[in-house]
A and B are shown apart, each in its own frame.
Chain A
């Protein structure tokens, strides 16, 4: 079976059959599931395509699964409090957890707790990284959202408290969801709130670009990848679609009349807790407290299929399928270390005392060197290209090039002969 490009990952709060499960986005059939416990809202995340992290509902630890195994690891990440939101950076280097009013930042390669950010006044409700992992946005129940620069947070200077880059303070009720667009620091952020508004901000300047006022409180929000549409899940079960560009720009204008139902996805009976759009922007996934996950067609507003869960859906997302998910014999490249629960004072002391610079690289980010056969292939293709060129090119330079290549071929043949003799000798030797 060939691996699908995208999969649906969802979790509910009942946790009777499984903790979270993976479904086919086209048919809604179940591929595989992960067992043990249940996951709270906005707390299910993929770490570097190799692990699944899910914060246990009502407890102070994070469940960990290797992505190719159904049973979770014995190693749990024990946290200082109940985790209300969890996010891993897209490059797989950092993990952010919202615990009560503080944001905890861990380094994945060493498990060190790098920073504890206590700027929110109430519990955090959601936290998101940008797609290049340079910034992250945190929203809480105190109506505030902060945009943090990751490089200023992980610096080793302990004398200065990290400050958020921007403070978004235009909401008047708790923030329920945050969605970061693409383009890294130039991205746009959408925040949903119980004050019945969805606001669009700019990460670079902290300015508010758009504010849409609805009739009900908005529980979830997402962009499509082109950022043409804004999908807002309301507390009454409706999903609202806001067009962020003029419809006259679209070439294929549908002949459907602009009725009132054209902009609303109707079907859920309770508040919509999670929304996700596929990469091509044609289907929309929604999870709700009415214990269903639905897939919608964006163009026609029809529900394609429905998955019935045993409890309110806490996480539902369309993700690109990790490569290790369907290979049962694969293993993570780096084992997950033990995550510390306190700030490391010795490292900060060393950093402050010596004045040195700590340089961190991602694990296994260096490209592996090409093999010998690949080099031979490259040389052979280059030789063929030059041979083809010699038919049409000038004779003098071509001759020099051909002689060089012939010398190279002789060297390769000699090496090949030596390898052959060595192999023959090794095989014929009696053990």
Chain B
């Protein structure tokens, strides 16, 4: 029963009844959820043709809407284009041609809002596309700009100026290439062509007449200021995009005295680098087989280089043609701007801010017209033409009320309605900033001074009436002690330069230079202003000195040159760059033999070359080098200057190479060196020359040597029998520095003509100054041991006092050599000096050996003696000299052997005896061979 029920339960089958549903599975999913959609209005949908705006318009739709008759639709299309292009910057270059074409067409649209939107879109596009990408489409853009500028509607003309602003800001180069067309458009904006009937009546005027319109929203003066401001910017772009020809440098502003750089970068090589093979000199890329590709050689002279060029606005005739139309219009505008002051004669020079800005633009345009031609001779032709055509008009209008001042605004404040108040503010914003009266006056000076001709004295009387006020103004501006900015000062200095060069009058030159000198002598000038004035005087001296005698004989310039060394002394190390500039002027002036500068240099030489705080030790290396080179041009070398120079060489504050250069310079200036030509005045006396070299050779002055005698014992090596002198040990750098100096001094003394007399002088100096000392520095000993063998002549015998002193020095140095562990170079130097002295000076080795008395030595000194003897015996070249004194050597060896006869042999004694026996056997073998022969 239980077994049967269990089986039945296992195989129980669920019976499904007909009509009832199948029960759900346990893992069934509930699908009764409901989804809701979220709308994001700003999200852009991508259609098949590309991205779209928030109104689902792609670029094709937007471009087609630009042709719609409704202005609102066009404006919306422009706004949409700007939105689309700002969201997708890559599309700007893809669709640049079609976008620029359509936008340019809308410059002349009837509706103002459409034009404003077009200008905004153009500004956005101009920021994205560089200049070279727009170049193919620029003819179309400029054509539409021309249509807009010459449109009959004034509102369209005003919008055209804003388009011009965008193009001037982003594409000045492309715009300047279209200058022939656009310059004519500027004329149309402020004038109209005269009728043929009235042209016959007024033949003196140009072919254009100023237009006076009464239906504009702004006054005629403000409108002209707006147009002239853009004309000025446009001419500036034309001038700046013009590549300057070679040799013609732009002399405007701070670039007036910029250093002209050559086309070729020179190869700079140092001899050490070339010797070590670090850099191969690749001067000619094909080893000179072909000529230089960038050679600027021309067979014709420079004055005819512009004859074959007929470019537009490159020649003077083209600029004259344009200027003949523009300048009368500018003069009429000037008359109208200054017309307000005609009512009150006493305040004719006072101008309102608006008139001031207008005049400034007129003068800027006149300046830019002159700079249209890049060549110098074309500029001269243009200046002459300006003078012939417009000098009378310029004198009548410009110079009548010169200099101009600013009129107080409160006097002429008028009532105005709300509409007129806004427009002057807009005009002020367009003008950029309020123009200072000083800027107007300075620019007027620059324009007028270019009309004065070079080198023609017969027209000086004619120009006196209008050059006088300019000169008075410049003198007052420079002399009143006010602080000028770099920009104004550069302009004023340019005017001064031009007046000095053209006016061949000494009185004018001194007057103007006096004014500039007053400005130069002010205190607390900024570094820029100081450098500017310094460069002005420097270039005036260097460039114009030869061509203009009245500049060469200027007392102000002479006084300024004489003050340069004083400024160098006072400046010191406070401003190294300014000192470098001063030196750049001092060195060419000294090379040219300027008397005032050389006298001042001579007077301040001891201060400049002071070893403690002179310029030669506190300035950087380049300025130090220049100061050493200036020594070549000093008129004379007094004894105190040579003392300063000697101390400069000995202290380590200048490098060893610079010290050697200084020594060679002094050597070249001396008549004893024999390489200078026969001159009447001797810059360097023989006594001073030899004194300088002796002091430099010793490295210590008399006072320092005297002070060393009382020095305490911690820095000295104690005096002993083997070291007769107390040696003052100098530092390694000082020793090596002095070693280089000694080499050059020995070479210079070696090349003198009479060596016997020279040696006699040096010998007496050593005996008188050094032989009585107890404490001697080690570099002095080495210097003497180095110098005496080189100067010693074959026929000359040194005195006993010198020989004894040299013997003491040699012994002390040999003792020092055994204790030296600092530097291998110092050991080599000391040994080289001792060896040279022992092998060259006769009887010196005998004296050294005679001073070896074994019985007087204590036990600690015997190993030192043995080492010295071993050292001498091991040297091959010294063996002959040692064998020549064999008796002394044998005597010393016997004494040493007897002293240590009873005890066991020390190692140093065994070594010494070995060296001695080897030397003896070698010597005897040589003697035997000689006997056989």
Chain A residues in the interface with B (C-beta under 8 A): 40, 57-58, 82, 84, 119, 121-123, 141-144, 152, 172-174, 183, 185-186, 194-196, 199-200, 202, 204-217, 219, 226-228, 235-236, 240, 242-249, 258, 260, 263-264, 269-271, 273, 289-290, 312
Contact = CB atoms under 8 A, between A and B. Distances in A.
Contacts of B591: 121-122, 141-144, 173-174
A19 B302 CA distance: 45
18 contacts: A121-B591, A122-B593, A142-B593, A143-B588, A186-B295, A186-B297, A196-B661, A199-B266, A200-B283, A204-B296, A209-B264, A211-B268, A212-B269, A215-B271, A217-B668, A227-B288, A249-B287, A271-B751
Nearest to A59: B678
Given A202-B295, A205-B264, A173 B629 contact: yes
A207 B297 contact: no
Contact of B295 (A172, A204, A211, A240): A204
B25 interface: no
Contact of B629 (A119, A152, A172): A172
Contacts of A235: 664, 668
Contact of B264 (A82, A207, A269): A207
Contacts of A227: 284, 288
Contact of A40 (B272, B657, B674, B677): B677
Contacts of A204: 292, 295-297
Interface in B344-389: none
Contacts of B660: 215
A245 B284 CA distance: 7
Nearest to B657: A215
A207 B629 contact: no
Contacts of B269: 210-213, 242
Given A209-B264, A211-B269, A243 B281 contact: yes
Given A82-B677, A194-B632, A211-B268, 8 more contacts: A119-B546, A121-B592, A122-B593, A186-B297, A200-B283, A205-B295, A217-B664, A289-B674
Contact of B592 (A142, A202, A211, A216): A142
B275 interface: yes
A194 B264 contact: no
B275 A263 contact: yes
B274 A270 contact: no
A172 B626 contact: yes
Contacts of A121: 546, 591-593
Given A122-B593, A174-B632, A289 B675 contact: yes
A208 B301 CA distance: 21
A121 B275 CA distance: 36
B295 A269 contact: no
Contact of B280 (A207, A247, A269): A247
B288 A260 contact: no
Contacts of B750: 269
B267 interface: yes
A122 B301 CA distance: 28
A213 B281 contact: no
Contacts of A258: 277
A84 B676 CA distance: 11
Nearest to B262: A207
Given A119-B546, A209-B283, A210-B281, A270 B751 contact: yes
A208 B284 CA distance: 13
B747 interface: yes
A185 B629 contact: no
A312 B673 CA distance: 11
A195 B587 CA distance: 12
A78 to B, nearest CB: 19
B288 A205 contact: no
B270 interface: yes
A195 B629 contact: yes
Contacts of A142: 588, 591-593
Interface residues of B, number: 49
Contacts of B901: none
Contacts of A122: 591-593
Contacts of B294: 205
Contacts of B283: 200, 209-210, 244-245
Given A122-B593, A172-B587, A249-B287, A242 B751 contact: no
Contacts of B280: 243, 246-248
B531 to A, nearest CB: 21
Nearest to A206: B262
Contacts of B747: 236
Contacts of B664: 216-217, 235
Contact of A244 (B262, B284, B593): B284
A243 B283 CA distance: 9
User: Which of B274, B277, B301 has the most CB atoms of chain A within a 10 A radius of its CB?
Assistant: B274
Nearest to A246: B280
A186 B678 CA distance: 37
A387 B632 CA distance: 79
Contacts of B270: 212-213
A202 B593 contact: no
Contact of A208 (B264, B588, B629): B264
Across the A-B interface, give the 3 residue pairs with the lowest CB-CB distance, nearest first. A204-B297, A121-B592, A207-B264
Nearest to A125: B677
B267 A211 contact: yes
Contacts of B297: 185-186, 204-205
Contacts of B204: none
B273 to A, nearest CB: 9
B271 A213 contact: yes
B271 A58 contact: no
Nearest to A249: B287
Contacts of B675: 219, 271, 273, 289, 312
Contacts of B674: 289, 312
Contacts of B751: 269-271, 289-290
Contact of B281 (A173, A226, A245, A260): A245
Nearest to B263: A207
A214 B291 CA distance: 28
B275 A212 contact: no
Nearest to A217: B664
A242 B287 contact: no
Nearest to B282: A246
Given A204-B295, A205-B296, A289-B751, A212 B266 contact: no
Contact of B266 (A211, A216, A236, A244): A211
Interface in B615-640: 626, 629, 632
B624 to A, nearest CB: 13
B276 interface: yes
B295 A209 contact: no
Contacts of B657: 215
Contact of A245 (B262, B264, B282, B593): B282
A263 B276 CA distance: 10
A195 B287 CA distance: 28
A263 B274 CA distance: 9
A123 B292 CA distance: 33
Given A213-B268, A260-B275, A263-B274, A244 B301 contact: no
Contacts of B678: 57-58
Contacts of B284: 227, 244-245
Nearest to A250: B287
Contacts of A173: 591, 629, 632
Contacts of A246: 280-282, 287
B282 to A, nearest CB: 6
A186 B291 contact: yes
Nearest to A141: B591
A270 B266 CA distance: 31
Contacts of A219: 675
A258 B750 CA distance: 31
A121 B277 CA distance: 39
A210 B629 contact: no
Contacts of A244: 281, 283-284, 288
Interface string B661-691: 1001000100000110110000000000000
A404 to B, nearest CB: 46
